[in-house]
């Protein structure tokens, strides 16, 4: 009875924890990146790092999101030129990538990323271990429109 209960709990709460960390990552990034200035985003480090200017934090302030796949942690630094270092924003996703532009701006084929100066596409992937050695992989994708004009 106890073994069945443990497996049932693992099957129920594993996907819920994965969904929660995926949504936390998407929400953290959307909330801060939407205040970014149009034309200032730079993606690097295998699409795991994005730098952008946030005029709400002051003139010339560069903020950064970076994802460390080994630690499965998303870091946020509101000002890369000052201390303290970046802080962990979300733990748990297995992959987060940033892509400038959006395929949704390319109808009807939806193949080319357009709007690279004012739109960022986020991809977040999470996984959860289920009972009987199964793994549940889920992906989240969203588009963030930058709000602040130069």
Per residue in 74-99, pLDDT (tens digit) is 999 999 988 778 888 888 888 899 99
For residues 138 and 126, the answer to whether their CB atoms sit within 8 Å is yes
Mean pLDDT by 10 residues, the chain (150 residues): 75 72 86 93 96 90 93 92 84 90 93 94 80 65 89
What is the distance of C-alpha 122 from the center of its chain? 6
For residues 113 and 103, the answer to whether their CB atoms sit within 8 Å is yes
Residue 150, in any domain of the structure: no
Closest CA to 40 of 120, 135, 128, 125: 120
Number of domains in the chain: 1
Residue 28, in any domain of the structure: yes
Residue 47, in any domain of the structure: yes
pTM for this entry? 0.83
Sorted by sequence, the CB contacts under 8 Å of residue 102 that are 6+ apart come out as 113, 114, 115, 119, 121, 143
Residue 58, in any domain of the structure: yes
pLDDT digits (tens, 9 = 90+) for 47-62: 999 999 989 888 889 9
**Full residue range of the structural domain in which residue 95 is found:** 2-145
Q: Which two tokens stand for residue 25?
A: 């990552």
């Amino acid at each position: 009875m106890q073994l069945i209960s443990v497996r049932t709990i693992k099957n129920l709460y594993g996907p819920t924890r994965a969904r929660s960390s995926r949504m936390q990552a998407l929400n953290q990034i959307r909330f801060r990146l939407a205040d970014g200035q149009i034309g200032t985003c730079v993606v690097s480090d295998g699409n795991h790092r994005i730098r952008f200017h946030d005029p709400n934090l002051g003139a010339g302030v560069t903020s950064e999101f970076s994802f460390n796949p080994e630690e499965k942690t998303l870091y946020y630094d509101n000002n890369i030129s000052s201390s303290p270092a970046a802080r962990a924003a979300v733990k748990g996703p297995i992959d987060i990538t940033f892509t400038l532009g959006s395929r949704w701006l390319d109808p009807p084929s939806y193949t080319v990323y357009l709007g690279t100066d004012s739109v960022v596409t986020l991809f977040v992937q999470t996984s959860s271990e289920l009972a009987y050695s199964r793994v549940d992989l889920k992906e989240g994708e969203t588009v963030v429109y930058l709000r602040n004009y130069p």
